[in-house]
Amino acid sequence: MERLAADERGPWRLALSRFLRNRVALAFLALFFLIVVFVLAAPLWADHVAHTGPNATHTLEKLQVGDETREVVTPAGLPIGPQWFEAGGKFFLGADSRLGRDEMVRLMYGGRTSLFIGIVSGLITTLLAIVLGLLAGYYRGWVDAVIARVLDVIWSLPVLLFGIALGISLAVGGLKIGPLEISGGSIWIPIFVICVFTVPYMARPLRGEVLALREKEFVEAAVAQGAGPLRIMFAEILPNLASTIIVFFALNIANNMLFEAALSFLGAGVQPPNSSWGTMITVGEQLLNTQPLLAIIPGTMILLTVLSLNIVGDGLRDALDPRSKVRLEAHAGMVEPKGTTV
């Protein structure tokens, strides 16, 4: 009897209850929210604890810790190490370089940039992939041929190399498409680059699903009722793609954040004075011998964010489609190579 009662719930309620039973995924979802709260709290920390901005330099300043005065940057150019709460929260993680910027404040603001780029490019990629997948899968014929061919070519490119090429080309000159004008230093440049090169990873599988769904009876029924192409695509087919889209969205954000970090690390992503976790590693790596945390902490933040998104994405897949896990295992030999290889 109890089983029957459970089955009467809708598929979304069922999926939700399955997800809520997945302790590991829940824990990592909580971790992800913690990270989001952490970066959102950046202005609070900057104004009330550190009393400085992310790009403010403190090269020649001294720090009063109890009775002791400490130099933020030594004459040799070495930044101060983590102070934790000794200086009232100032330079909690020390200073970032010979410029003497507050590492903790930069970590929080840099995280905002990284997460913003990851989530916004994830949203744009998802929307683009849905539209391209629906158009190609619904109209088939030459529309499909063109879209599929273009996606195939982009998919076969070495992503990082072309990301660098486009990123640096745009960073030098900016981007002008009609009335839309983006300057070279804007964070919309890396967002644009990431979207261009990650769309195929989502659009290709969606197109495949649409091609299969299009043959189903419910589409035939909709056609018989006189539904137009837009209604069939968005009201009939799209809801059936929801679970795939949700899973891909979470994994896509993780992938995009790694992509952004790699581009920024190499200097072809977020441009100074903006910072992201990727650019912070570039700066911190110079002082690896004396201040290892400067490179390791932003790297760890990237790892935690990406790991939590990957695990939540996997949990969502298990919850939304319990059979998919079995399917994946069975076809693992056919698994496509890892998205961005970073």
- Rounded distance between C-alpha atoms, residue 69 and residue 86, angstroms: 12
Which of 259, 245, 215, 232 is closest to 320 using CA atoms? 245
Size of the site for other proteins (CB under 8 A): 58
State the minimum distance, in angstroms, from the CB of residue 30 to other proteins. Answer: 17
- Rounded distance between C-alpha atoms, residue 310 and residue 248, angstroms: 10
User: By the 8 A CB rule, do 103 and 287 touch?
Assistant: no
State the minimum distance, in angstroms, from the CB of residue 188 to other proteins. Answer: 13
60, 76, 224, 334: residue in contact with other proteins (rule CB under 8 A): 334
Structure tokens at 104: 């903790």
Does 267 bind other proteins (CB under 8 A)? Our answer is yes
Q: Which is nearer to other proteins, 2 or 329 (CB)?
A: 329
- Rounded distance between C-alpha atoms, residue 135 and residue 206, angstroms: 10
36, 87, 123, 165: residue in contact with other proteins (rule CB under 8 A): 165
The terminus-to-terminus CA distance of the chain in angstroms comes to 50
50, 73, 105, 160: residue in contact with other proteins (rule CB under 8 A): 160
State the minimum distance, in angstroms, from the CB of residue 268 to other proteins. Answer: 5
- Rounded distance between C-alpha atoms, residue 129 and residue 149, angstroms: 14
- Rounded distance between C-alpha atoms, residue 107 and residue 277, angstroms: 7
Helix (H) or strand (E) holding 122: helix 103-139
State the minimum distance, in angstroms, from the CB of residue 218 to other proteins. Answer: 32
Residues 284-303 within binding reach of other proteins (CB under 8 A):
284-285, 288-289, 292, 295-296, 299-300, 302-303
Give φ, ψ of 65 to 5 degrees.
-115, 105
4, 37, 76, 335: residue in contact with other proteins (rule CB under 8 A): 335
195: amino acid identity, one letter: C
Does 162 bind other proteins (CB under 8 A)? Our answer is yes
Does 261 bind other proteins (CB under 8 A)? Our answer is yes
Which own/partner contact pairs does 11-20 have at CB distance under 8 Å and 24+ positions apart? 15/243, 15/319, 15/320, 16/319, 18/318, 18/319, 18/322, 19/315, 19/316, 19/318, 19/319
Does 121 bind other proteins (CB under 8 A)? Our answer is no
State the minimum distance, in angstroms, from the CB of residue 207 to other proteins. Answer: 19
Q: Can you give the binding site for other proteins, defined by CB under 8 A?
A: 153, 156-162, 164-166, 168-177, 254, 258, 261-262, 265-268, 278, 281, 284-285, 288-289, 292, 295-296, 299-300, 302-303, 306-307, 310-311, 314, 329-330, 332-335, 337-338, 340-342
